[in-house]
Amino acid sequence: MKAINIGFMTEKWDVHNTSKDVKSLYDDIIEAGIEYDNHESDLYVKDTPATRAILAKYKYKNNVESFISQIDGTRWFDIPFAYQPFWDKTQKRQVKEQTIKNDPINDKNLIEKIKSMLAQVKKLEDGEEKKELIRNIMQEMSALYKPEAEEIVDMFEKDSLKTTRGNYGKYMSFLSNPKLVGIHRGAMVIALRAAGAGQGLEDALKIIGGNY
């Protein structure tokens, strides 16, 4: 690839401060309907009068190089780091990785704490002390169910009017899952309440039972 002088003034390149300029450039290319391609984060744009007009306003135009397409013999511009979808995808991946990292289910200390409390329950005779410990366990475990509970509440409540209890059937069906029994069901109920579950949840509990 060979760089050529296309009459642009030199600007200092700052790879850490390009996001707004890159997004604006990419949006302008799309809006103008200019033919483009990409490789990873590099944006390839066909050389047209419209392309040159857009690049003339680009802060980092000194980094733009040109090349001749081996496919059709036309001239294209190679604009480093300017393919905006690449950065959008990267940002979403980073957010997702951070969310996973912060998910309580990955909190080893919390997991160990719950395991220790469960071991204590097995040693206790039935009584108030055991019941209180179980309630504490469910409270701790509810953090593990928080992401799912928020998703469920958002899905169940958004289609229900505040003056109705029509979603109790949805909660009843969800809580009847064989995997949600005993302490696990209690922890989920606490998480659902914290997430904003309405009266439908309480009505469902009256039917399926459970004092949570």
Which of 102, 129, 158 is the last residue in one of the domains? 102
List, for residues 172-187, the tens digit of each pLDDT value. Answer: 888 888 777 788 888 8
The pLDDT score that the predictor gives to residue 15 is 40
Note whether residue 212 is domain-resident. Answer: no
Domain co-membership, 86 together with 177: no
Which of 102, 131, 149 is the last residue in one of the domains? 102
Domain co-membership, 91 together with 125: no
Domain that holds residue 203: 108-207
3-state class (DSSP) for residue 34:
coil
List, for residues 19-68, the tens digit of each pLDDT value. Answer: 556 678 899 999 999 999 988 889 999 999 999 999 998 888 888 999 99
> Which secondary structure element, helix H or strand E, spans residue 78, and what is its range?
strand 75-79
Task: Tell me which of 57-61, 92-96, 133-137, 163-167 is least confident.
Answer: 163-167
**Statement: residue 105 has pLDDT above 60:** no
Q: What is the mean pLDDT of residues 131-145?
A: 83
Domain co-membership, 5 together with 83: yes
φ, ψ of residue 10 to 5 degrees: the values are: -80, 135
CB 147 within 8 A of CB 103: yes
Note whether residue 165 is domain-resident. Answer: yes
Domain co-membership, 1 together with 62: yes
Share of the chain above pLDDT 90, in %: 17
- 102 band by pLDDT with thresholds 50, 70 and 90: very low
User: How many domains does the chain divide into?
Assistant: 2
Domain co-membership, 38 together with 116: no
Domain co-membership, 19 together with 39: yes
Which of 82, 102, 122 is the last residue in one of the domains? 102
Domain co-membership, 194 together with 112: yes
CA distance 142 to 175: 14
**Is the full-model pTM beyond 0.75?**
no
